[in-house]
Structure 1
């Protein structure tokens, strides 16, 4: 393989990485997640796929039935432990989000990207935006932990702590730093008959 070809491969790889990071930052900014919800966009995407086959893709719209069950998640994880959160910054409505953010899912002490290895603090609650108001954003963020976190310090997040959950304050309080991966989708109330199942 020629030296010239090596350089071409390196340029393509580097540009591709920067383009991906730029796309995430642009999406988080255009949907007002940065700086309104978190101060900095994650550099990597967390892959999120629901049992329905629906895949989260930086703001795509999914229906309530598509996101009814707990998704599988993966990201470019290294050694260490991680925290995964999912929340709705538009609860109960984007125009009046007085319980923002609402915590939908919280798992701590995740080994690499094996979500089942972690301690689930707040079980997955599927989105159910009310029939009034505009479309809601549902955000996934991954943080790398500096150490194992004690479960007892997080119990409140399984109940009352789901309301008025601040991702930025949460990260600051537990020294998690900036998110290392993220993604989000949007959902709104609709009149599909299948919605009556949930």
Structure 2
């Protein structure tokens, strides 16, 4: 169930701020992402469930070519391509308040290797106070609790899954979260579920993931299939029954968010 504590704090401002639909929403992409998380075993390795109501876009800039590299669920990227902190974008098919803040998290459940993930989860980023601008880009000016650290899987490792999630930020996040995560907190053996419960983070509203291995000649192609590193095609492809189920779940969450916002806009 979508946790709305952070959302409810901001709902009274619905009539006081501009409202907008966040970009162009593609429901098939939502279905593919939901199915990809299940195929890649991100559910249950990172999340107990994943029922997104929005799409999270992630865009790296390849430092060698200065070209944009867009993340699609399960894409295999090189360490070089993922060296710089990416840009993030949020799109949805419902109108939400422009002032709602978001938390962004990047974790690696395969550290140090998928074959022996004794340091899982490794926290690559924990950012706060992100807001959506007029181009659907997530921007912020607050210091991250954990600055972005680029993927560096060790030699001999299979490709790692790097999971990127967006959450609606709880009202008291900036007072509770720094007590648990700060510059001196070890990044390894992080547990997103435990952290989320401690700060009332709730369920992610959007997410995606990519794969990165130690080889320097990785390309923008799909990874070869393995139990922990599924290919992009196998992650995105779903049986008709699986796709329908993911579509239904996503639709229910979206409808729930729409109804919640509508009710509170009438009240306030």
User: 2:75 corresponds to which residue?
Assistant: 60
User: 1:184 corresponds to which residue?
Assistant: 209
Gaps of 5+ in 2: 1-23, 63-67, 218-268
Superposition RMSD in Å:
2.2
- Normalized against structure 1, the TM-score is what? 0.81
Gaps of 5+ in 1: 1-12, 193-198
Answering whether residue 37 of structure 2 is matched by residue 37 of structure 1, we say no
User: 2:224 corresponds to which residue?
Assistant: none
Contact 2:177 2:199 in 1 (8 A): no
> Residue 86 and residue 154 in structure 1: after superposition, are their counterparts in 2 closer, same or farther (change >3 A)?
same
* Cα distance in structure 1, aligned partners of 2:142 and 2:122: 21
Answering whether residue 115 of structure 2 is matched by residue 100 of structure 1, we say no
* Cα distance in structure 1, aligned partners of 2:88 and 2:48: 23
- Normalized against structure 2, the TM-score is what? 0.61
Higher relative contact order, structure no. (Cα contacts within 8 Å, ≥ 6 residues apart) = 2
Contact 1:111 1:117 in 2 (8 A): no
Extract structure 1 runs of 4+ deviating beyond 4 A.
none
Q: Give the number of aligned pairs.
A: 178
- Give the 3-state SS of the residue equivalent to 1:168 in structure 2: helix
- 1:170 corresponds to which of 195, 202, 208: 195
Contact 1:46 1:75 in 2 (8 A): yes
Contact 2:130 2:138 in 1 (8 A): yes
User: 1:47 corresponds to which residue?
Assistant: 57
User: 1:119 corresponds to which residue?
Assistant: 143
**Cα deviation, residue 97, structure 1:** 0.6
Contact 2:79 2:216 in 1 (8 A): no
> Residue 151 and residue 121 in structure 1: after superposition, are their counterparts in 2 closer, same or farther (change >3 A)?
farther
* Cα distance in structure 2, aligned partners of 1:143 and 1:25: 16
